[in-house]
Structure 1
Amino acid sequence: MSEAEWRAFLADTVTPAFPDGLTAFDGAGQWRNREGRIAQERSKALVVVLPGATAEQARARIRPIEEAWKARFHQQSVLTLYRAACVGF
């Protein structure tokens, strides 16, 4: 995925779903693939705060982003962490 492809995904898929804001940063992913080999690639991480959302509501809003990412960038999976937090801005 190029930086231009990432920016397009952010603009047309992520931002409309979370217009109140988010944080995005670069990562380095590593996992054991279906063939049993260790795979590595550059990754992107998103932090989205959903005040007052239940876990079920958060999953319902985030799942379409996961599915779009897998389809668009031909990924087998997406790591997602749901966690309650005390947040201030």
Structure 2
Amino acid sequence: MTTGISPLVRTALAAVAMAAALAGCSALPSAPGAAKACGSSFETFERDTLYFGRAIPSGGQVSDAEWTGFLDTTMTPAFPQGLTVIDAAGQWRGVSGDVVRERSKLVVLLHPRSEKDDAAIASIIGTYRQRFAQEAVLQERQSVCVRF
């Protein structure tokens, strides 16, 4: 029996689910001033997942070397405390109406909520979009409970 989900996508989804479970998280309201729902040994953090497509609209792909360069020069300096990169296969409908299927990278960032980190994430997204002529980079945010 097949589900129509590629093994690569299934693996990426399982990794994201595992990261959430290992973080000991439960979804928290993201609204400012929301009551703290973390247990006494947990801290409230934000989990941002960024979805980077690697297809370049004018043709070609963001190469492994180009991705590593972007990671080293843009992402790591912004989040030196750490991040997780997951290989994935993505699919989405662009503004042209065409379905785009492409190799992708998911980057998971766990961090305390701050204007500095919000600005860093916006800069990372803007830099990737400009450097690789991307129409969009998806950002997903959840409040989570973590313990190190």
Q: TM-score, normalised by structure 2?
A: 0.55
Report the residue type matching 1:40 in the other structure: R
Measure the CA separation in 1 of the matches of 2:89 and 2:116.
Answer: 28
Counterpart code for 1:68: T
Mapped partners of 1:65, 1:40: distance in 2: 22
Offset at residue 29 of structure 1 (A): 1.5
What does the per-residue CA deviation read over 1:45-81, in whole Å, with 9 as the maximum and x for residues that have no partner? 1111112x15x55432210000011011111001001
Q: Which has the larger radius of gyration?
A: 2
Aligned partner of 2:120 among 57, 61, 65:
61
| 1:72 corresponding residue in structure 2 | 131
Q: Does 1:2 align with 2:63?
A: yes
Q: Which runs of 5+ in 2 are unaligned?
A: 1-61
Normalized per residue, the structure richer in helix is 1
Query: Normalising by the residue count of structure 1, what TM-score does the alignment of the two structures yield?
Result: 0.88
Q: Give the Cα–Cα distance (whole angstroms) in 2 for the partners of residues 57 and 11 of structure 1.
A: 19
Shift of the alpha carbon at 1:31?
Answer: 0.9
- Number of the residue aligned with 1:47: 108
- Alignment gaps of 5+ in structure 1: none
Structure 1 match to 2:86: 25
Q: Whole-Å Cα distance in 2 between the matches of residues 15 and 57 of structure 1? A: 15
RMSD: 1.4
1:12 aligns with 2:73: yes
Find out whether 1:86 has 2:145 as its counterpart: yes
Q: Which has the higher strand share?
A: 2
**Mean Cα displacement is larger for which, 17-26 or 58-67?**
58-67
State how far apart, in whole Å, the 1-side matches of 2:66 and 2:147 are: 31
Distance 1:22 1:2 in 2: 20
